Amino acid sequence: MSLELVTSFSVLILLVWLWVRFYEKRPFATLGFERCGALWTYRRGLLIGALTFSTAVGLMALFGYVAPEAGEPARAGLAAPGGVLLALLPGWFIQGAAEEVLTRGWMLPATSERVTIPGSAFCFLRSFLPSCMA
């Protein structure tokens, strides 16, 4: 599954880059990539995301919305996430980068040139709620 994530989302990043480079005539850096401190920025974002997710899960557990289930010990607790994280983390890194490149790096700047700011915000939000307008 990790290989599938890496392959498919790498192709997405490549296609967006080709479009921006040859059609829009913009450099790759305009998609949101930084040369200085890129690894630190990525780590900081990963830490903020993990803390946000952990806080949400912790609050749900605190108020009784989630509860642990009994099951096979090798597939529960801290033993389960270790193997999953090691297997899927590379794919998740590429997938997260592809989402950022597509939405914040390409779509928002491209639509803001043609559409007003509220219209651009609507397009961005609409991409997350496809069933609302069906």
Angle, to 10 degrees, between the axis of helix 2-18 and the axis of helix 79-100? 10
Nearest-10 Cα torsion for 117, 119, 125, 129: 180
Q: Which pLDDT score is estimated for 58?
A: 93
Instruction: Give per-residue burial for 74-113: e unless 16+ CB within 10 Å, then b.
Output: eeeeeeeeeeeeeeeeebebbbebbebbbeebbbbbbbee
Span 81-104, pLDDT tens digits: 666 667 777 888 888 888 888 888
Span 23-67, pLDDT tens digits: 988 888 888 777 788 788 878 888 998 899 999 999 999 999 988
Whether the CB-CB separation of 120 and 111 falls below 8 Å is answered with: yes
With 0.75 as the threshold, say if the pTM is over it.
no
Q: Which of 121, 106, 116, 99 is nearest to 45 (CA)?
A: 99
CA distance 15 to 101: 11
